[in-house]
Chain A
Amino acid sequence: MSRILVIAEHSAGKLNPSTAKVVACARAIGGEIEVVVLAADGASVAAQCAALEGVTRVLQVDHPANEHPLAAVLAPQIAGLAEGVSHLLGPSTTFGRDLMPRVAALIGAPQLSEVMAVESPRRFRRPVYAGNAVVTVEVAEGRQVVCTVRTASFEAVGSAAAHAAVEQRSVEFSPPAHTRFVSVSAPASDRPDLQTAARVVSGGRALGSAEKFQLIYSLADKLGAAVGASRAAVDAGYAPNELQVGQTGKIISPALYVAVGISGAIQHVTGMKDSGVIVAINKDAEAPIFEIADYGLVGDLFSLLPEIENLLAG
């Protein structure tokens, strides 16, 4: 039977919603599911992990060096817990992408990145070439495997009726001094988080300026939606980098995705094509975004957005 170790992602005492999706992937593999929380003081996060459906037990590893998620600090501790584990899973967020390959190299295991489907405990599907192809891959029997899980492909597990046990673990380990955390930019707003929001409004280069990009924030606020942006809009300085949706940004699957002034380059489409309903607003009727949109509207976004806001209010 499989024994699966899920690496929890968290910040400021809060479990990142990606972890519940990674646990969903672990359940699809099947077996014992352990979630490990590496933190300075992980009690609160461990309790949140224990409440996730399908979790067998939670391992809480407290160490002052775990204050910030540095891969060089966390990876050796995870490697130290990997004995007897068949699968090690992390989210395909920047946290997991940074950390998991370091773990894989330490334990001499292959890694499957961006796992989107589980066909068997040894057989998985993952996208390559910016989602232009999907490969089905098989891991040799008897080999441990590390996966980063494409969170947009899995529904978060719910809460468990009975909470899993939390075990304190101490890891023999001297934290490396060669890597130091300096700072991280604070979350910019109290808007919904782009990665987990049910609705997202994204703007592209057609917005024309950072000032006019405020139209996107305005519509998003009306909808209770998170704000996203195309790479072109981010590169032009209309929106900060953490809002970028696409192959090299965030890959998301909200129930509603509204693409405003976005042409639909494959780079961007990779990041949003799993959305429930896609709405595209663009002045160019030939824009490729309309090929994948459920609802397309051709017109001038500067007159359409205020009009839509009014209609939503009515």
Chain B
Amino acid sequence: MQKIMVCIKRVIDYNVRVRVKPDGTGVVTEGVKMSINPFDEIALEEALRLREQGAAAEVIAVSLGPDDTQQQLRTALAMGADRAILVRHDAPADPATAAAAFMALVRKEGAELVLLGKQAIDDDACQTGQRLAALWDRPQASAASRVEVVGESLRVTREVDAGLEVNEIDLPGVVTVDLRLNEPRYVKLPDIMKAKKKPLDVTDLAALGVALDEPVTVLKWDPPPQRTKGIMVKDAAELVSALKQKGLV
């Protein structure tokens, strides 16, 4: 295949303990580290490996987000993507809008494979890849833990509730990736320098002909209900007797 497109999302870094603002209008983002959604980073790594194996010629990293998302796209370029495209959009993007934007980019660029994370760790929606596959009327393989190229098809091992499911999909298609697919490479300093010279184009939804349709409104944000701390038992006997008393064992 010629082109692989990797969709990445700028999210609060997974090491940050996310807190809801006291006024319930969102989560605290001031001074908080932002990163590439970890699942998307795995998708990018897989794309780079496919290119290195000679299965693809070019890897394009794309994102929908505010102007600052250029930082994450530069990181993607430093990891090894050949070029990047930002669809600038200041409001938090819903999965339907993201899928429509990526669909427009797929058509424009002629990508044959789209790789992205199975979910973003901010909205935990798990929708964008499947939506894109539907708009494209092409196959999807979600939650991939193994991807093999077999001629013009992919053999994808997916993590499902029953265990592992293997599907074969014809290209072009969409694969969303799970954690165990690979371990992304570290970015080296010379690569960061090189990445500064790689092309990063900026466009927007209007230029791509994507109309905004956002029928869901967030009314408020709450911290999750807290469990109260229970009691510490001193030994196994006290534990088993407490559980027996409660009729749990």
B217 interface neighbour in A95, A138, A292, Cβ under 8 Å: A138
Q: Which residue of A lies closest to B229 (CB)?
A: A291
B130 interface neighbour in A101, A199, A235, A304, Cβ under 8 Å: A101
Tell me, yes or no, whether A161 is within 8 Å of chain B by CB.
no
**A105 in contact with B248 (CB, 8 Å):** no
**B164 in contact with A179 (CB, 8 Å):** no
A311 nearest CB across to chain B (Å): 4
The stretch of A19-27, A57-65, A70-78, A166-174 in contact with B is A70-78
> In the complex, A188 Cα to B169 Cα: how many Å?
26
Residues of chain B lying within 8 A (CB to CB) of residue A241: 145, 159, 163-164, 180
Residues of chain A lying within 8 A (CB to CB) of residue B227: 273, 278, 291-292
**B169 in contact with A135 (CB, 8 Å):** no
B177 nearest CB across to chain A (Å): 11
A254 nearest CB across to chain B (Å): 10
**B164 in contact with A247 (CB, 8 Å):** no
**A137 in contact with B127 (CB, 8 Å):** no
Digitize A256-298: 1 where CB-to-B-CB distance is under 8 Å, 0 elsewhere: 1000000000100000010011110000000000111111111
**A179 in contact with B122 (CB, 8 Å):** no
Q: Which residue of B lies closest to A72 (CB)?
A: B139
Tell me, yes or no, whether B138 is within 8 Å of chain A by CB.
yes
**B167 in contact with A102 (CB, 8 Å):** no
A295 nearest CB across to chain B (Å): 6
Digitize B7-25: 1 where CB-to-A-CB distance is under 8 Å, 0 elsewhere: 0000010000111100000
> In the complex, A132 Cα to B161 Cα: how many Å?
24
Q: Which of A99, A106, A123, A241 has the largest count of B CB atoms less than 10 A from its CB?
A: A241
**B96 in contact with A294 (CB, 8 Å):** no
Q: A101-B130, A105-B134 are in contact. Are A110 and B215 (CB under 8 A)?
A: yes
**B169 in contact with A178 (CB, 8 Å):** yes
**A135 in contact with B221 (CB, 8 Å):** yes
Tell me, yes or no, whether B173 is within 8 Å of chain A by CB.
yes
Majority secondary structure, B binding face: mixed
Digitize B101-124: 1 where CB-to-A-CB distance is under 8 Å, 0 elsewhere: 000000000000000001101111
Q: A127-B224, A279-B243 are in contact. Are A104 and B125 (CB under 8 A)?
A: no
Residues of chain A lying within 8 A (CB to CB) of residue B204: none
Residues of chain A lying within 8 A (CB to CB) of residue B236: 297, 299, 304, 307-308, 311
Q: A182-B168, A296-B231 are in contact. Are A131 and B224 (CB under 8 A)?
A: yes
How big is the A interface, by class?
A: 35 or more
Residues of chain B lying within 8 A (CB to CB) of residue A128: 122-124
Tell me, yes or no, whether A66 is within 8 Å of chain B by CB.
no
Q: Which of A70, A290, A295 has the largest count of B CB atoms less than 10 A from its CB?
A: A295
**B230 in contact with A294 (CB, 8 Å):** yes
**A72 in contact with B218 (CB, 8 Å):** no
Q: How many A-B residue pairs have CB under 8 A?
A: 250
> In the complex, A223 Cα to B222 Cα: how many Å?
36
A136 interface neighbour in B220, B229, B231, Cβ under 8 Å: B220
**B249 in contact with A256 (CB, 8 Å):** yes
The stretch of A31-39, A41-49, A111-119, A206-214 in contact with B is A111-119
Digitize B29-45: 1 where CB-to-A-CB distance is under 8 Å, 0 elsewhere: 00000000000000000
Tell me, yes or no, whether A155 is within 8 Å of chain B by CB.
no
Q: A102-B131, A235-B180 are in contact. Are A184 and B162 (CB under 8 A)?
A: yes
**A113 in contact with B179 (CB, 8 Å):** no
Residues of chain A lying within 8 A (CB to CB) of residue B162: 11, 184-185, 187, 242
Residues of chain A lying within 8 A (CB to CB) of residue B165: 181, 183-185
Tell me, yes or no, whether B207 is within 8 Å of chain A by CB.
no
**A295 in contact with B239 (CB, 8 Å):** yes
Q: A70-B167, A72-B133, A241-B180 are in contact. Are A136 and B222 (CB under 8 A)?
A: yes
Residues of chain B lying within 8 A (CB to CB) of residue A290: 229, 232
Binding site for A on B (CB under 8 A): 12, 17-20, 27, 94-96, 99, 118-119, 121-135, 138-143, 145, 155, 158-170, 173, 178-180, 213-225, 227, 229-233, 235-237, 239-240, 242-243, 246, 248-249
User: 16 other contacts beyond A137-B216, A247-B121, A277-B243, with CB at 8 A cut-off?
Assistant: A72-B139, A95-B161, A100-B130, A110-B94, A113-B126, A132-B224, A133-B18, A133-B20, A135-B218, A140-B215, A178-B139, A181-B166, A241-B164, A242-B161, A279-B239, A304-B236
- Could you show 21 A-B contacts with beta carbons less than 8 Å apart? A72-B139, A94-B158, A94-B160, A95-B160, A98-B140, A101-B95, A101-B126, A105-B132, A114-B124, A129-B121, A131-B224, A135-B222, A137-B217, A143-B215, A231-B179, A242-B161, A242-B162, A277-B246, A292-B229, A295-B230, A297-B233
